[in-house]
């Protein structure tokens, strides 16, 4: 008998994956959990929930009906942005560039910086108290303490390097603190931002030259899909360390009325940089209709932002990725701005957001605004 094909329904922290697995099994759908990183499972950035392919339609319907993935109402949420920039760091080679971009942005706006590192616990945080497993639990607690001490040393070194750069005037003098937390990085970042809402999240992502089968599931992709605050994503290839050097900003529009509101938020966020702007279409309309819409949008922005340099451009028809890369190259675009809207589980599962698609095609800094 042919074995049924398994598909990945979702990737979550261990705790959330367990909840989803239990929900599915109560509805008669067999589910299993698998670490994303099978080579080193204890440092996995998430857990896959896998089901039979034939169960997929029913599983999606159950998830949508139960609304299990809605935001948890935990603690007090910040309604207004706090006066800080959040910089998640992983201590990789280009962490310093991310910090430089974040510090320069914060200094021009009189903000402070919070450096965050999220590490993965060497064991899942479920209580184990039966029989011989107590010894196993104790050993894992020792491993957890060692892991915490390791990342604490790395964070202390990063802070020392940053202070030395400030002393040498290679970095603006900005007040900064740090926080170490354990869990799935995307879950921890989003949860922290609900309680302490930043003005901006500045984070890195692997460059477009780093082909990887799990790239679409990166932490940056998960954060831009679910964050309620602007997220600036910096690829490795970026040649500058100050957003003030981003002189040409391309702004994507689908001619949605919400784009006008988010454009205003973007203008306020970038007003200290004073770049030129090119608005380009990402809608599926006819070229003629897109041209009419762009002309109307140009007139609107000229009226509301008379001092800003704003132009409009049409992407070539055909393959979106090729058209976008050609546009970036020819127009010498330094940064892309794209809006994203909250969508239900079906939309996220079957149709990756435009922000996700741009994140892995452009190799250019991406500022994601949220309604």
The CATH number linked to 301 is 3.40.50.620
- Count CA within 13 A, CB hemisphere, residue 97: 16
Residue 78 lies in a domain: no
The total number of structural domains that make up the chain: 3
Residue 57 is assigned to a structural domain of this protein: yes
Residue 79 lies in a domain: no
Spatial strand order in the sheet of 47-52 = 6-12, 47-52, 31-35
Q: From CA 105, how far away is CA 270, in angstroms rounded?
A: 9
Do residues 127 and 205 share a domain? yes
- Provide the domain limits for residue 155: 84-231
pLDDT band at 98 (very low <50, low <70, confident <90, very high): very high
Please state, in angstroms and as integers, the Cα–Cα distance from residue 128 to each residue in 41, 91, 92, 132, 137, following that order. 19, 32, 34, 10, 7
The residue among 120 and 158 whose pLDDT is bigger is 158
Least reliable range by pLDDT among 108-122, 208-222, 324-338, 351-365: 208-222
pTM for this predicted structure? 0.73
| Helix (H/G/I), strand (E/B), else coil: 217 | helix
Domain boundary among 211, 231, 251: 231
- Same-domain status, 120 and 148: yes
Looking at the structure, do residues 167 and 298 belong to the same domain, yes or no? no
Cβ neighbour number for residue 137 with a 10 Å cutoff: 14
User: How many Cα atoms occupy the beta-carbon half-sphere of 147 within 13 Å?
Assistant: 19
Q: Which among 176, 181, 337, 169 is positioned nearest to 259, based on CA atoms?
A: 337
- Rounded to whole angstroms, the Cα distance separating 72 from 354 reads 26
Pairing of strands 366-370, 231-235: antiparallel
Per-residue pLDDT of 247-277, as tens digits, reads 999 999 888 888 888 899 999 898 888 899 9
Inside any domain, residue 236: no
């Amino acid at each position: 008998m042919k074995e049924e094909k398994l598909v990945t329904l979702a990737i979550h922290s261990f705790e959330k994956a367990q909840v989803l697995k239990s929900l599915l099994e109560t509805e008669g759908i067999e589910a299993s959990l698998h670490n994303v990183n099978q080579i080193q499972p204890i440092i996995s950035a998430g857990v896959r929930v896998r089901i039979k392919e034939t169960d997929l339609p029913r599983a999606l319907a159950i998830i949508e009906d139960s609304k299990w993935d809605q935001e948890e109402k935990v603690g007090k949420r910040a309604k207004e942005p706090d006066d800080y920039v959040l910089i998640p760091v992983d201590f990789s080679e280009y962490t310093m560039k991310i910090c430089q971009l974040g510090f320069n942005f914060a200094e021009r706006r009189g903000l402070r910086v919070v450096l965050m590192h999220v590490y993965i616990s060497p064991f899942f945080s479920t209580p184990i108290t039966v029989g011989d497993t107590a010894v196993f639990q104790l050993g894992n607690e020792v491993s957890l303490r060692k892991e915490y001490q390791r990342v604490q040393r790395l964070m202390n070194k990063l802070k020392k390097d940053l202070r030395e750069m400030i002393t040498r005037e290679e970095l603006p003098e900005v007040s900064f603190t740090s926080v170490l937390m354990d869990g799935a990085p995307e879950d921890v970042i989003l949860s922290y931002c609900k309680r302490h809402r930043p003005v901006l999240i500045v984070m890195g992502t692997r460059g477009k030259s780093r082909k990887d089968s799990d790239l679409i599931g990166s932490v940056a992709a998960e954060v831009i899909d679910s964050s309620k605050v602007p997220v600036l994503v910096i690829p490795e290839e970026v040649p500058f360390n100050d957003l003030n050097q981003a002189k040409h900003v391309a702004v994507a529009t689908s001619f949605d009325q919400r784009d006008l509101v988010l454009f205003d938020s973007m203008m306020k966020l970038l007003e200290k940089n004073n770049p030129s702007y090119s608005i380009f279409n990402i809608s599926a309309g006819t070229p003629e209709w897109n041209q009419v819409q762009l002309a109307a949008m140009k007139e609107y922005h000229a009226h509301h932002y008379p001092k800003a340099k704003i132009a409009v451009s049409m992407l070539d028809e055909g393959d979106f990725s090729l058209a976008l890369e050609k546009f970036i190259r020819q127009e010498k675009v330094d940064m892309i701005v794209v809006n994203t809207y909250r969508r239900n589980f079906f939309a996220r599962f079957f149709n990756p957001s435009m922000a996700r698609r741009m994140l892995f095609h452009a190799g250019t800094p991406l500022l994601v605004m949220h309604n």
